[in-house]
Amino acid sequence: MKTIRENSFSTTGKIGKSLLLLLPMTFLILLFTAGPTPSFNSKVSLVAFLITFIFFNVLFFMILYKGKVDRYRATGFIVLALFFALTFIVDLIGMRGTMTFSHETMLSCEIPFCHIVTTMVILPLIFTGSIIFPGSIIGGFASIASMLVIVIGVMLALGRGFCSWGCFYGGWDDGTSRILRKPVIKKINPAFRWASFAVLIIVAITSALVLEPTYCDWLCPFKTVTEFEKVTSFTVLLKTITFVSLFAALVIVLPLLTKKRIQCTTLCPMGALCSLSNKINVFEVRIDKGKCTECMLCTKVCPTMSLEKQDVEKGKPSITCMKCGKCIDSCSKSAINYHIKGTPVGKRVTLARMLFLYPAFTLLVVFTAGNMQQGIVLLVKLFTTGSLL
């Protein structure tokens, strides 16, 4: 009996069908890689474009042809994290000469608006009718208005899928969680998947009370690979020790030992907010109870502990599911699939899968393409001149 993935509608193992369904994505990859009016000012930038273009086409083709999502998604996702950090740091050093920001940067309101700040501006926005962030409302890199448009759109379209397909930080702990073949720490209390909600409550309230984004100020581990305040006092030193320690523990060490995305699961308040948007998002992961044998392999592989025994029995992961596809790929009975709410479970699986993969992969391309091209140009510069600047 054919499994769902081998049915007449699926693309698994079928080159022709895979290439056909790749075509619309090729157009989107071209649009977001080259831009509406492509211009390449050097051979290196042309080569960078070609590498990026081919890279994404190959990734999407492999998702279709192999019928596996997670490993190819993760490849692009990790590339996003690495190249984003590289290009961001190089741009900063080129502009300011340092990764640190000073009073000058804050007073000139030029700090790029990161998506995580969204969680901290909501309450002050309601009570004061203004934004508590030293950024630019419009214009410049990552202005407040442009980032809010993206955050709202992505949350509506993909829910917490943002955390697996678009977040330019998630690739760090996604990557470190894949280094070891087997976890060293095998048992983690699944209660920790709710910890980020506590962080969301605390940072939302404290930010509103002190009128400062407290998560950014004190906790965000990714300041280690982007920008951070210059150490000029004991308090700032304490903040620096805190975020560097959190990066080491939650982004490097614990994901390595547990093979779970610990930072994203336990700390990120944006992840908690996106989880709430999963409630209204049309896409979800569902388990076809008719096919499921309750082997519980999916509960072991889920990087965010969103699938526990009771979730398998209910037929769907908790709202913390990031739609990464790891459980789908691991299921030998093809019982787990992407699903569209309001439609029968286990029917038209390929259609639901494609309707999810197109926007999700597009998001990955949009965030990665520019950074990847710029990153390749920088790396070529490094190898040829010995300098990134």
Partner 1 sequence: MGQGFILGLSTGAVCVVYCGPVLIPYLMSESGGLKKSYLLIAIFLAGRLAAYLLTALLAGLIGQAFIQQTETRSTLMGMAYMLLAALMVVYGLYRFKEICLGKTAKSISASDTTKNRFLIPLTGGFLTGINICPPFLLAITGAIDSGTIMGSMLFFLAFFAGTSVFFLPMPIAGMFKRQHILRIIGKFAAMLAGFLYFYKGLLLLIR
Partner 2 sequence: MKKLTAIPAYLWAIVCLLIIPVCFIKNDTFANEMAKLPFMKLHPVYSGGDQAKIITDPELVTTIYKPVFESLFGKSKTGFVQLKFSSPSDTLPLIIKRDIDYNSDNAVDFGIEINTQTGDTKLTPVNTLVRNINISSKVKKNWVVRVNVTNPVKSK
Tell me which stretch binds partner 1 (CB under 8 A): 36-44, 63-71, 159-167, 205-213: 205-213
Q: Using alpha carbons only, what angle is made at residue 362 by residues 359 and 365, rounded to the nearest 5 degrees?
A: 160
40 is written with which tokens? 């390449």
Local structure of 284: helix, strand or coil: strand
Q: What is the Cα–Cα distance from 91 to 293, expressed in whole angstroms?
A: 52
Q: Which is nearer to partner 2, 158 or 268 (CB)?
A: 158
Give, as ranges, the residues between 204 and 223 that touch partner 2 (CB under 8 A): 208-209, 211
Structure tokens at 304: 């965010």
In the range 209-238, which residues lie near partner 1 by CB under 8 A? 209-210, 234, 238
Asked if residues 334 and 291 have their Cβ atoms less than 8 Å apart, the reply is yes
Stretch that binds partner 1, among 45-53, 100-108, 109-117, 203-211 (CB under 8 A): 203-211
Residues in region 356-375 near partner 2 by CB under 8 A: 356, 358-359, 362-363, 366
Element (H, E) at 340: strand 336-340
DSSP state of 82: H
Residue 1 interacts with, from partner 2, partner 1, none (CB under 5-8 Å by kind): none
CA dist., res. 7 & res. 12, Å (int): 9
| CB of 73 vs partner 1, minimal distance in Å | 28
Of the candidate spans 30-38, 162-170, 204-212, 222-230, the one that interacts with partner 1 by CB under 8 A turns out to be: 204-212
Distance between CA atoms of residues 24 and 13, nearest Å: 19
44 within 8 A of 384, measured Cβ to Cβ: no
Task: For partner 2, give the closer residue by CB, 163 or 246.
Answer: 163
- Write phi, then psi, for 106 (nearest 5 degrees): -65, -45
The Cα diameter of the chain in Å comes to: 68
Residues of this chain, 238-257, that bind partner 1 according to CB under 8 A? 238
Helical H runs in 227-268? 234-246, 254-258, 262-266
Instruction: By CB under 8 A, tell whether 342 contacts partner 2.
Output: yes
Strand partners, 229: 101
d(CA 81, CA 362): 16
Cβ of residue 379: shortest distance to partner 1, in angstroms?
40
Q: Give yes or no for residue 293 binding partner 2 (CB under 8 A).
A: no
Which of residues 143 and 330 has its CB atom nearest to partner 2 in the complex?
143
Which two three-digit tokens encode residue 225? 């690979």
Token code pair at residue 51: 């590498």
* Residue 108 binds to partner 2 (criterion: CB under 8 A): yes
Question: What angle separates helix 349-385 from helix 15-34, to the nearest 10 degrees?
Answer: 50
State yes or no: residue 146 binds partner 2 (CB under 8 A).
Answer: yes
Among 206, 226, 240, 330, binds partner 1 (CB under 8 A): 206
* Closest CB 261 distance from partner 1, rounded Å: 17
- Give least dist CB 125 to partner 1, A: 17
The listed partner (partner 1, partner 2, none) that binds 195, CB under 5 to 8 Å by sort, is partner 1
The total number of residues shown for the chain amounts to 389
Does 231 sit near partner 2 (CB under 8 A)? no
CA atoms of 243 and 42, how far apart (whole Å): 39
What's the sign of the alpha-carbon dihedral 212, 217, 219, 225? Answer: positive
Does the protein bind partner 2 through residue 142 (CB under 8 A)? no
Cβ proximity to partner 2: between 180 and 211 the closer is 211
CA distance linking residue 62 with residue 141, whole number of Å = 33
**Binding residue count for partner 1, defined by CB under 8 A:** 14
The answer to whether 232 contacts partner 2 (rule: CB under 8 A) is no
What, of partner 2, partner 1, none, does residue 206 touch, CB below 5 to 8 Å by kind?
A: partner 1
| Contact residues: partner 1, CB under 8 A | 191, 194-195, 197-199, 201-202, 205-206, 209-210, 234, 238
| Contact residues: partner 2, CB under 8 A | 28, 31-32, 102-104, 106-109, 124-125, 127-135, 137-138, 143-146, 148-150, 153-154, 156-158, 208-209, 211, 281-283, 340-344, 351-352, 355-356, 358-359, 362-363, 366
